[in-house]
Structure 1
């Protein structure tokens, strides 16, 4: 293929109009409004560099003084104590609002309205190389990896300082020296009190160090599908992004919900409210008002010629499509198209691929969504296979919400990598999610799940066994409920996720997507979770090679969790309890303890002798 040597346009509006003229997209007034806002942001970032704003924050914290220090200098302390000025306490959002760095943008709107498309098009027009685009799952995995690496680095540094220090821990030798001083009377009669000088600088938090790594690699972050799910990941993400803003980073994000609804009904919401307010300040929201789902443009059902969503009974067509995609990736047949199973490695454990041929992998729905798999597993599959076949997809009822969540994570990973999918399901996509749900705005989670289980068949209560309607059978609703009316989860988090997954499924199984999708997997350097513990040890030179190579395949980072081989001491032996530590174990505490020291024996016989015996 020959590429044009003519300069490519970097103006977002020109790029958009060019795609409209070429017939690739349709003109939309609401998208033009967003394009103009993104153009203004592009002008602000034209000559921007975070190092010019706060270069001391990008230095090594061990050799530079940064404003995150918790211990002020003597000069600043004395001036503050003599000052009579009023002190204004600023909130987290107020502090970030006063930063003079460029603000980003948060693009919100319903699924399929074009948020990700416009942001990706805008990102391709930014000339700086210090930019990146990350989905929520990928960014969280990278942050967790950064936390682990920073923790290991600090522990190794602490162990080196301990080994090099002349002042060792308290041991028997030091104790004997103190006893000798006491016997000889060499100790001073009075100790002089010394005030310990304040440390010159404090150790930055781990979130600070992880954010510094991020901003050194890319100061412009496009964060796709901003969400706050579990409290641990959400808190860590909030801390890291807060430091990222302070260091001059710029975030442009997309979300199906406005900031106030991102963690509306989450656990411990008060802990994340400051971050939500900061997100509103640093990334002003721009709502896309269009209700049209552009991914479903031209969708006329699953009977469309060339669509890769099949129903039960089309097994032969399913296998034929998979073999076709395995041969047509490079336009020729080679040895890699041999049908076989494969094993991949994720976090040191094995991820089995039951059938593969070339760049095509085939799984049953249960092998992907009934097992304990997560985003890292799905990102690995999307990086190794340009086409994924999924068979035996059932109707996902309320009781199968865990499988539905995994299925959504799988679809998100495949869509981000622009993989092709071939699906064989029980029903069409729009009837796949929760056909047994009721359009009740106040349905409790446990109640909804209980209702779903009882709707499979009539299960009378014990008190109703002799009732006249014992044999009555409750049929499931014949018509699927619209996703807009579902509210079975707190905060409607899954409602948005299901709508997004449905929109993406319809697009990914369309003939147009199959023709135009360009596979874009994550790089091998990014997929750090695919390296086993031995590979990590060789890369960091921090741990010896395991004696048994099979241990590295199944320990699931157990050695990292136990900090094996990290320096002196490794891990102290567990304390051993003696019988003297537990009351009731010994019964020979002596006569001075009376009946208490004889335990139950003091009450078992009236002939028992002793000063503590009560039977005499």
Structure 2
């Protein structure tokens, strides 16, 4: 695409202004500034693509080629619900790069660990002689995507923390451009984490390859646009149990319901109730969060089931922080993949985690915000389930 042809693509600012004009969102100066900043990055990426087009993969994958000037990506941080993901998704849709990838950061790191494990198995089997898995993994990732866009960039796992510096140094050396959203600024990533001093070189590396932008929008737009639907039910009592059962019957629509299981990385994930023909599954909170499950397990579940019921989410506190951490991961994945979720809980989303200290208390603000938004008509329409919810309403749910 030539620079002139770029004009056929609406810019992020043009797309944003159209939403304002349609009344879908309110104009916000901080969001407008970020939209303009995304457009600057798009123009820079388009110009660089022109300069390297004749060399195919060119300098991106050639260690012997002359080093080009670094293209700095964007790291956008700010409170929940300020529009970070909305604007990043506009950028991702409009950036004229064929090799681009948009992922939740948890999903991306699960993919990285899987690739590393596959390389180690290949080394064990004698299929490769390269001891270090990072270079070939970086090669594969960079060949897949020149522009990487991450939602909810957060680091809470020591296994992730220990490989990020080497992995991203290799990706940046291969010309990969990073765009990310986060609730925290780079200096607060992996805050209070184990052996954090070993993680700090990654923070400096990150800041050298991105421009850091604080999206200080004036309000939480998610809460403004809420239109509650009966998909989050509390407190936990007989009425809530009845409504959950009625919603389940509406969602399964007479389909055969039976237990099922999935094989995920050598272990079994039990699905207590599953209706494969309607892609619906039902769990208790304990099924999903009191067992040693992780992001890969939750991702496997949503690849088979697009309507998830979760019964009996309790109020959580610091002694149950491991369950809270799993619940945070679970909701992130469900939200990011637009899964339709019906939940019964002991309290409203903003009162589910009562501890005031620790990483989980900080991160649960995002979870509460997402649980609120997952009740909105807009979210349910995006999940393709609005008609089913309306039918459930007419049945008395």
TM range (shorter): 0.7 to 0.9
Deviation at 1:206, TM superposition (A): 2.1
Deviation at 1:17, TM superposition (A): 1.7
In structure 1, the partner of 2:392 is none
Q: Which of the pair has more CA radius of gyration?
A: 1
In structure 1, the partner of 2:394 is none
Deviation at 1:263, TM superposition (A): 2.8
Distance in 2 of aligned mates of 1:236 and 1:53: 30
For 1:366-402, what per-residue CA distance to the aligned partner results, in whole angstroms no more than 9, with x for missing partners? Answer: 1111111111111112221111111111111222111
In structure 2, the partner of 1:38 is 38
Give the 3 Å change call, closer, same or farther, for CA 9–338 of structure 1 in structure 2.
farther
Give the 3 Å change call, closer, same or farther, for CA 158–392 of structure 1 in structure 2.
closer
In structure 1, the partner of 2:270 is 352
Per the alignment, in what secondary structure is the counterpart of residue 342 of structure 1? strand
Per the alignment, in what secondary structure is the counterpart of residue 284 of structure 1? strand
The answer to whether structure 1 residue 339 and structure 2 residue 291 are counterparts is no
In structure 2, the partner of 1:275 is 202
Deviation at 1:156, TM superposition (A): 4.1
Deviation at 1:54, TM superposition (A): 8.0
Asked whether the 8 Å contact 2:147–2:178 carries over to 1, the reply is: yes
Please point out which of 81, 97, 120 is paired with 1:151. 120
The answer to whether structure 1 residue 229 and structure 2 residue 156 are counterparts is yes
In structure 1, the partner of 2:48 is 48
Please point out which of 127, 146, 166 is paired with 2:96. 127
Asked whether the 8 Å contact 1:308–1:510 carries over to 2, the reply is: no
Structure whose residues are more often strand by fraction: 2
The answer to whether structure 1 residue 206 and structure 2 residue 129 are counterparts is no
In structure 2, the partner of 1:318 is 244
Q: Report 1:37-436 matches (<5 A).
A: 37-49=37-49, 52=55, 55=58, 58=61, 66=63, 100-157=69-126, 205-299=132-226, 304=228, 306-311=229-234, 312=236, 313=238, 314-327=240-253, 337-357=255-275, 358-434=278-354
Distance in 2 of aligned mates of 1:266 and 1:124: 34
Deviation at 1:497, TM superposition (A): 1.3
Per the alignment, in what secondary structure is the counterpart of residue 362 of structure 1? strand
Give the 3 Å change call, closer, same or farther, for CA 132–518 of structure 1 in structure 2.
farther
Per the alignment, in what secondary structure is the counterpart of residue 330 of structure 2? helix
Per the alignment, in what secondary structure is the counterpart of residue 391 of structure 1? strand
Per the alignment, in what secondary structure is the counterpart of residue 199 of structure 2? helix
Distance in 2 of aligned mates of 1:343 and 1:134: 26
Deviation at 1:142, TM superposition (A): 1.2
TM-score (norm 2): 0.86
Deviation at 1:15, TM superposition (A): 1.1
TM-score (norm 1): 0.56
Distance in 2 of aligned mates of 1:10 and 1:298: 25
Between stretches 421-430 and 225-234, larger displacement belongs to 225-234
Deviation at 1:24, TM superposition (A): 2.5
Give the unaligned 5+ runs of structure 1: 1-6, 60-65, 69-97, 162-202, 328-332, 438-485, 520-616
Deviation at 1:215, TM superposition (A): 0.6
In structure 2, the partner of 1:608 is none
Deviation at 1:26, TM superposition (A): 2.3
Deviation at 1:310, TM superposition (A): 0.8
Asked whether the 8 Å contact 2:152–2:182 carries over to 1, the reply is: yes
Deviation at 1:244, TM superposition (A): 0.3
Q: Report 1:540-559 matches (<5 A).
A: none
Distance in 2 of aligned mates of 1:384 and 1:243: 34
Please point out which of 363, 378, 387 is paired with 1:497. 363
Give the 3 Å change call, closer, same or farther, for CA 17–326 of structure 1 in structure 2.
farther
Per the alignment, in what secondary structure is the counterpart of residue 269 of structure 2? strand
Give the 3 Å change call, closer, same or farther, for CA 36–255 of structure 1 in structure 2.
same
Deviation at 1:298, TM superposition (A): 4.5
Deviation at 1:415, TM superposition (A): 0.6
Distance in 2 of aligned mates of 1:324 and 1:47: 53
Distance in 2 of aligned mates of 1:398 and 1:235: 25
Aligned length: 370
Distance in 2 of aligned mates of 1:17 and 1:208: 42
Asked whether the 8 Å contact 2:272–2:282 carries over to 1, the reply is: yes
Aligned alpha-carbon RMSD (Å):
2.6
Give the 3 Å change call, closer, same or farther, for CA 154–10 of structure 1 in structure 2.
farther
Per the alignment, in what secondary structure is the counterpart of residue 424 of structure 1? strand
Distance in 1 of aligned mates of 2:177 and 2:21: 32
Give the unaligned 5+ runs of structure 2: 1-6, 386-397
For 1:536-566, what per-residue CA distance to the aligned partner results, in whole angstroms no more than 9, with x for missing partners? Answer: xxxxxxxxxxxxxxxxxxxxxxxxxxxxxxx
